[in-house]
Amino acid sequence: MQLFRALAACSLFVGAFAQQSLEQLIQGNPNLTEFESLLKAFPNVYKNLSSATDITIFAPGNAAFAQLNYTVLAPAFDSYNIDFQRELIRYHVAVGVHPSGSFSGGSFSFLPTLLTNQSTTNVTGGQVISVVEQAGNNFVTVSGLGTRASVTELDMVFNGGVLHIVDGFLIPPLDLTASSPSFNLTSAPAAFIAAPSILTNYVDIAEDLTIFAPNNDALQSIASSFSSMTVQDFTALVEYHIVPSNTTVYYSANLPNGAVAQNGSVYNTTTLTSLQGGNLTITFVANSLFVNQARVIQQDLLLSNGVLHIIDSVLDPNATNVAANPQDPGPVQVVPGSSIPGNMLPFTTDLPTSTSILFSLVTPTPTMTANGSSETGDGSAATSTVAGPLSTSKGWGERVEVGTGGTGIVLGALIWVLGFI
């Protein structure tokens, strides 16, 4: 019933106020001149957005373009990478009408976007962005690499939906290996790589994954135990931190949050099945989220194929009955072991000496738009000082080798995504 009311309210919102087209709205706002130039570089995209219905656009304002050279997106524009620019535009368009009133309450909303190209995302229904209302009626978007952008102008209605202006670009999420350095997470991704039964790059390419990754301190605190584990035990341990799915990514909105249902029950616990096969008990208590005994200390970090939640201790598939203890402020260690000399991080030597990134070339195949029409995605070779001429770069189909370490991994992924060499 509440969902029906929300949808009805959104329809009434657009129906009551929408008198202008998308082109009229953009042309009439002096803060959208750069965004208009970008859209005009892709006439097919602009045309389809103009005729689409039930969409929400998070449009980068002129201030966002002024800061573009200082972001990870700069190479895509410097090299006139039209393939990536086209997908970037789609990532700024959410499915459905989402006025600011739908974000109230302080809880994150996760909105599927028109970014569905499997060369850049592997999330059912389209890669998401998250939006939340913070104190003072301030609205913030969160995208890949934990990138935050503030909404500076709200609820500009056009005949196909609503547009909000943001002060920064939304960054399409990268995979776990590439994203982890931005989250100060190095041991966990290396452990996934080291586990021999994990398929090559499984955590980076499998669809709709939810990953509960122990932070560096958690793995370092039990580092001595890993050398005595059998291959089977270590593999089971790693797989126990991964929740696969073909349809559902478990963002915080899909996990217990203490919400009171209409029947009076409180949604404070649920069970998920791990890749290892054992159950994970998710508990919301004392305003904190727990996975078995581990406290979630950072949640909803978007990945190209799902979501990452960072936890403060290592999960043990042989200790599934250890309950959450909100009274204990420190990590609860259930895997026996101790730190290794020099506080060295385990598994970091298992990071690959080079990152080989090979994905399918993005080709101009027909793509269904929000209103059901098709688009060839040919990039429309219109001249623009923003998007530039048709790119002659190698594109996304090339194999790229880069150096070891956090910076190298991020650079390698960005080279794949941006296709600038």
Report pLDDT for 305: 95
Query: Considering only 3-12, 73-82, 279-288, 410-419, which range has the smallest mean pLDDT?
Result: 410-419
Report the pLDDT value the prediction gives residue 104, as an integer from 0 to 100: 77
What six digits make up the tokens of 237? 């341990």
Contact 281, 268 (CB under 8 A): no
CA–CA distance, 110 with 96 (Å, rounded to integer): 12
Residue 12 structure tokens:
């009434």
Q: pLDDT: is 178 or 66 the higher one?
A: 66
User: In this predicted structure, what is the pLDDT of residue 346?
Assistant: 56
d(CA 306, CA 250) in angstroms, rounded, equals 8
41 pLDDT band, cuts 50/70/90, is very high
Higher pLDDT, 306 or 349: 306
pLDDT above 80 for 382: no
The region that residue 367 occupies, defined by phi over 0 for left and psi between -120 and 50 for alpha, beta otherwise, is beta
Contact by Cβ (8 Å): 86, 195: no
The average pLDDT across 92-102 equals 97
User: In whole numbers, what is the pLDDT of the chain averaged over residues?
Assistant: 78
Q: How far apart are CA 64 and CA 67, in angstroms?
A: 5
Among 217, 102, 99, 118, residue whose Cα is nearest residue 157: 99
d(CA 134, CA 155): 17
At 343 the pLDDT is 55
Of residues 234 and 333, the one with the higher pLDDT is 234
CB count within 10 Å of CB 3 equals 7
**pLDDT in the model for residue 329:** 77
User: What is the per-residue pLDDT for 123?
Assistant: 96
Q: Could you give the C-alpha distances from 378 to 57, 59, 74, 172, 235, in angstroms and in order?
A: 22, 22, 22, 21, 44
What is the predicted pLDDT for the residue at 62? 98
Question: pLDDT-derived band of residue 259, with 50, 70 and 90 as boundaries?
Answer: confident
Q: What is the pLDDT of residue 196?
A: 59
- Report the C-alpha gap between 420 and 192 in whole angstroms: 29
Q: What is the pLDDT of residue 393?
A: 26
Query: Residue 341 in 3-state DSSP?
Result: helix
pLDDT of residue 340: 53
Tokens of 287: 């305003």
How many Å apart are CA 196 and CA 237, to the nearest integer?
12
283-301 per-position pLDDT tens digit: 998 889 999 999 999 999 9
pLDDT at 152 over 70: yes
Mean of pLDDT values over 150-175: 97
- 246 falls in which pLDDT band (50, 70, 90)? confident
The residues near 370 (Cβ < 8 Å, ≥ 6 apart) are 48, 49, 52, 53, 54, 55, 93, 95, 114
What pLDDT is attached to residue 53?
A: 97
Average pLDDT over residues 289-317: 95
Judged against a pLDDT cut of 60, whether residue 341 lies above it is answered with no
The confidence score (pLDDT) of residue 396 equals 26
The predicted model gives 166-184 an average pLDDT of 92
Please tell me the predicted confidence (pLDDT) of residue 421: 27
Size of the chain, expressed as the number of residues it contains: 421
Average pLDDT in the 261-267 region?
Answer: 72
- The listed range with the strongest mean pLDDT (11-25, 120-134, 227-241) is 120-134
Higher pLDDT, 342 or 133: 133
pTM: 0.79
Residue of 148, 165, 124 whose CA lies nearest to 29: 165
* pLDDT for residue 131: 97
pLDDT tens for residues 187-239? 787 777 666 555 557 888 899 999 999 998 888 888 888 878 888 888 899 99
Residues 66-90 have pLDDT tens digits of 999 999 999 999 999 999 999 999 9
